[in-house]
Chain A
């Protein structure tokens, strides 16, 4: 089965609103990364996490290794936040396993 499950698979947000994306892991993850893939295919690093939380501007992410999940919160969504968000988890063997992504569209 899926080792990294992302939800929702797609999301449409009104500009200025907030939302949360989630990843559940069935592997013993020790580190998590969140990426935004733009329409050209480039993967932009958003967060690298060990268990705990990080914040960067309108984005906040948390990783709970005991409950095996991570979240990405987007506050005050902007049009440029549109794209596909991926989480990836690694269990100490360097190899990251990716989720299937959340396609986010922010509408004016």
Chain B
């Protein structure tokens, strides 16, 4: 039921390498979220955008990730130097925001850092 497109589906990187994943939000949705889901199924909020502006982000994202949502291009999330602990499912979601903020998730990018 979601039209959020995430690529790639799987990503394998060595420690210290950059890891970049992309997300095309549902058409007309100005709010985009990135979450990390670890192997224990725990969700960690990473960052969200409204249009091209960052609304909120956690400390880890600010220090180690590069994220953007340019107009007319996919949003992206890039880990600058991958660590083993970054192995997880990265989920992008989009929303209309405002009073009806239903999240619609993409299928995720599963990152393995060897």
Contact = CB atoms under 8 A, between A and B. Distances in A.
Interface residues of A, number: 23
Contacts of B45: 95-97
A95 B105 contact: no
Given A41-B107, A45-B1, A100-B42, A90 B89 contact: no
Interface of B: 1-2, 31, 33, 35, 37, 40-43, 45, 48, 55-56, 89, 91, 95, 97, 100-105, 107-108, 110
21 contacts: A33-B102, A41-B37, A42-B2, A43-B2, A43-B105, A45-B103, A48-B100, A84-B41, A88-B103, A90-B101, A93-B56, A94-B31, A94-B56, A94-B97, A94-B101, A95-B45, A95-B48, A95-B56, A97-B45, A98-B43, A100-B40
Given A88-B43, A98-B42, A98-B43, 17 more contacts: A31-B101, A37-B41, A41-B108, A42-B2, A42-B108, A43-B2, A43-B105, A45-B2, A45-B105, A48-B102, A84-B41, A88-B103, A94-B97, A95-B33, A95-B56, A96-B103, A98-B35
